Chain A
């Protein structure tokens, strides 16, 4: 494992903050201190589903200077592998969960002259502590928040009260839509752009930024891919000389962990690159679901991000 010992936390509160979105407040059962985190950080939460363990990444919110509690927001995802359903339906106040230490793959540039934040749906979560930090340090920023419906607009009322004119809310089913060229034009030199939301939105923002002449170094994004469900296949771990079956709703990383191997990982969402693994042989087609490898690397099929990618076929041999 690459994220230290799991931390046991008790669920102190569960609040419904929008349609299909619940906020979980987590604290140490002994009332002790949790590691401090920087805005943009996430944790992974161990979720038992059908005898397997999911480790889903969630952005940390609120309480930057509090060592007592963490908060995460969980969207119930339809047709998923069951992690978010378990969090919504089975987890109750008082339950003990195991989480990883925080890690930050979505850091802000402290030398920026201005920060432009673009959130889509549940992608609002990493921005809540960022806004707290920017407000405390008088850093200029603006938030553009796009949601499917008013009912899905978690934290929007709160934010509207705090941010005043710095918040623009776009409600899709009321006809609201992001005007990316408009948002990007006229931003002062030294502005940094941050986007968190669905894959299509991130790509649209990146394309709009390039079209407006922004260099990639000023555009930051975060999206954790939910590992897709697929058919089961045989996984051979060459170094540890083990063979396991990757179940339909399981990832290669989870299957390897179940066999006793301890591959490196960090985000478990195809973003960070930590779990990059060499492919030794594959009978079947590799389905690359990550945002880390380049298209060229994916085409060679010599590397795989085992947290989200899988095989359509019979057997995969990897260097673990």
Chain B
């Protein structure tokens, strides 16, 4: 069941050839980035801009990431505001900067989609998946995005059509494709099961 556009991920490593590092992480990826940066040492962290999506008191990693002594640290309440900060950092970034993303696929997909608008190739972005396999899904019918989809068949949050979630991934949107699950015989749906826990 491999499909060419289905992204593959590896564990993050700091690229020693880069002059500057921009890292965006959500709470699912916090522990990995904490480990990565605390072992990298100050020679690396003084050239790191770190954005934490979904930081909040009591959320695991929030305090620890803030304490890493990165050159720039931005704590944001969620993915949208984190991407807004990333956009601003990218606008001023120079060649020699490497971009890293660590966390759930929704964050990874949207980060890769955003960096491409700054002329960065998707393959240049270091990506590590952590936490839930839940997906960001675009309904091909109404074009609305449904976040946090964990089942293979789930209703579109916008038009209500029951969507079959494919592995087909759009790097432009940072989302998987969802198509009507009962187009052949309306009402006849495959069993709903947790496919992306």
Between A184, A185, A213, the greatest number of chain B beta carbons within 10 A of the residue's beta carbon is seen for A213
One digit per residue, 1 when the CB lies within 8 angstroms of any chain A CB and 0 when it does not, for chain B 111-132 equals 0000010111101100000000
Taking CB atoms, residues of chain B closer than 8 Å to A214 are 95-96
Min Cβ gap A89→B in Å is 45
- CB B47 to nearest CB in A, in angstroms, measures 10
Q: Is A112 in contact with chain B by the CB < 8 A criterion? A: yes
Q: How far is the CA of A213 from the CA of B19 in the complex (A)?
A: 6
Q: Does B123 contact A189, Cβ atoms closer than 8 Å? A: no
A189 and B17 in contact, given A112-B119, A113-B118, A217-B124 (Cβ under 8 angstroms): no
State whether the Cβ of B90 lies closer than 8 Å to any Cβ in chain A. Answer: yes
Contact B95 A213 (CB under 8 A): yes
Contacts of B118 on A, CB cut-off 8 Å?
113, 189-190
Q: Convert A119-142 into 0s and 1s, putting 1 for each residue whose CB lies closer than 8 angstroms to a CB of B.
A: 000000000000000000000000
Are B94 and A188 within 8 A (Cβ)? yes
Taking CB atoms, residues of chain A closer than 8 Å to B18 are 213
Kindly state the interface size class of chain B when it binds its partner.
10 to 19
Tell me whether B123 and A187 are in contact (CB under 8 A): no
Identify which of B95, B121, B123 gathers the most chain A CB atoms within 10 Å of its CB.
B95
Chain B minimum-CB-distance residue to A218:
B95
Contact across chains for A111 and B119 when beta carbons are under 8 A apart: yes
Residue A186 is within 8 A (CB to CB) of chain B in the complex:
yes
B45 on interface, CB distance cutoff 8 Å: no
B80 at the binding interface (Cβ < 8 Å): no
**B123 partner residues in chain A, CB cutoff 8 A:** 217
**In this assembly, does A257 line the interface, its C-beta being within 8 Å of a C-beta of chain B?**
no
Q: Is B93 part of the contact surface with A, judged by Cβ < 8 Å? A: yes
How far apart are the CA atoms of A212 and B96 in the complex, in Å? 6
Contact (Cβ within 8 A) A191 B96: no
- Complex contacts, A212 vs chain B, CB 8 Å: 19, 95-96
Q: Counting CB contacts under 8 A, is B97 at the interface?
A: yes
User: Closest CB of chain A to B128's CB: distance in Å?
Assistant: 18
B94 cross-chain contacts in A, Cβ below 8 A: 185-189
Task: Check B19–A189 contact: CB distance below 8 A.
Answer: no
A-B contacts counted at CB < 8 A amount to: 50
As a 0/1 sequence over residues 82 to 121 of chain B, the CB contacts with chain A under 8 angstroms (1 = contact) are: 0000000010011111100000000000000000101111
Interface string of A209-240 (1 = CB under 8 A from B): 01011110110000000000000000000000
In the complex, which residue of chain B has the Cβ closest to the Cβ of A188?
B94
B20 at the interface (CB under 8 A from A): yes
B17 touches A188 (CB 8 A): no
Q: How far is the CB of A183 from chain B (nearest CB, A)?
A: 11
Interface flags for A69-113 (1: CB within 8 Å of B; 0: not) read: 000000000000000000000000000000000000000000111
A residues 152-205 with Cβ under 8 Å of B?
184-192
Would you call A213 and B119 a contact (CB within 8 A)? no
**Chain B residue with Cβ nearest A116:** B95
* In contact, B121 and A189 (Cβ under 8 angstroms): no
Tell me the nearest residue of chain A to B93, going by C-beta: A189
CB-nearest residue of chain B to A190? B119
Q: Known contacts A210-B17, A213-B20; is A113 also within 8 Å of B119 by CB?
A: yes
Question: Which chain A positions have C-beta within 8 A of B119?
Answer: 111-114, 188-192
A129 to chain B, nearest CB (A): 22
CA distance A191 to B118 in the complex (A): 9
In the complex, A252→B26 CA distance in Å?
A: 58
Question: Contact at B95–A188, with CB atoms within 8 Å?
Answer: yes
* Bound CA span A54–B93, Å: 48
Distance in Å: Cβ of A179 to nearest Cβ of chain B: 16
In whole angstroms, how far apart are the Cα atoms of A111 and B123 in the complex?
14
Q: Contact between B96 and A213 (Cβ–Cβ < 8 Å)?
A: yes
Shortest distance between the CB of B123 and any CB in chain A (Å): 7
- Complex CA distance for A202 and B135, rounded to whole angstroms: 45
In the complex, chain B residues whose CB is within 8 Å of the CB of A215: 124
- Give the residue name and chain of the A residue nearest to B95 (CB): A187
> Could you list 20 A-B pairs, sorted by A, with CB under 8 Å?
A111-B116, A111-B119, A112-B119, A185-B94, A186-B94, A187-B95, A188-B93, A188-B95, A188-B119, A189-B90, A190-B95, A190-B120, A191-B119, A212-B19, A213-B95, A213-B96, A213-B97, A214-B95, A215-B124, A218-B95
The residues of B with any CB-CB pair to A shorter than 8 Å are 17-20, 90, 93-98, 116, 118-121, 123-124
The residues of A with any CB-CB pair to B shorter than 8 Å are 111-114, 184-192, 210, 212-215, 217-218
| Further pairs besides A189-B97, A218-B95, A218-B121: 13, Cβ < 8 Å | A113-B118, A188-B94, A189-B90, A191-B95, A192-B119, A210-B17, A212-B96, A213-B17, A213-B18, A213-B20, A213-B97, A213-B98, A214-B96
Enumerate the 5 nearest inter-chain pairs by beta-carbon distance, A residue then B residue, closest first.
A190-B119, A213-B96, A113-B119, A189-B93, A213-B19
